[in-house]
């Protein structure tokens, strides 16, 4: 199973970056025993419209077919 952490826009220094780094470190140390490789971090850059619906549609369309997702 492959895990990808997707973020909208550039992930800069701050609480969101700290949280993403924490997830990546946890996956590297604990995930191997559970069969998860390291987490890939992908930054999505919205094109055109910047309303939440348009951004959500762009991100969902970038996911591989058959993948599962959760939004927070």
pLDDT tens for 18-69 read: 988 888 888 778 777 777 777 777 777 766 666 777 777 777 777 777 777 7
Q: Which of 69, 68, 47 is nearest to 58 (CA)?
A: 47
Token representation of residue 16: 């969101």
Domain coverage including residue 15: 4-62
Give CA–CA dist 23/26, Å, rounded. 5
Do the domain assignments include residue 21? yes
pTM, entire model = 0.58
Do the domain assignments include residue 46? yes
Q: What is the per-residue pLDDT for 35? A: 77
For CA atoms 41, 53, 49, 51, the dihedral sign is: negative
Do the domain assignments include residue 68? no
How many separate domains does the chain show?
1
Do the domain assignments include residue 15? yes
* CA-to-CA dists, residue 26 to 4, 58, 62, 71, angstroms: 13, 28, 25, 19
């Amino acid at each position: 199973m492959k895990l990808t952490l997707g973020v909208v826009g550039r992930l800069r220094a701050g609480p969101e970056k700290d949280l993403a780094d924490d997830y990546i470190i946890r996956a590297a140390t604990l995930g191997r025993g559970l069969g998860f490789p390291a987490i890939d971090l992908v930054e999505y850059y919205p094109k055109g419209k910047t309303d939440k619906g348009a951004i959500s549609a762009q991100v969902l369309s970038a996911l591989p077919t058959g993948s599962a997702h959760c939004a927070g």
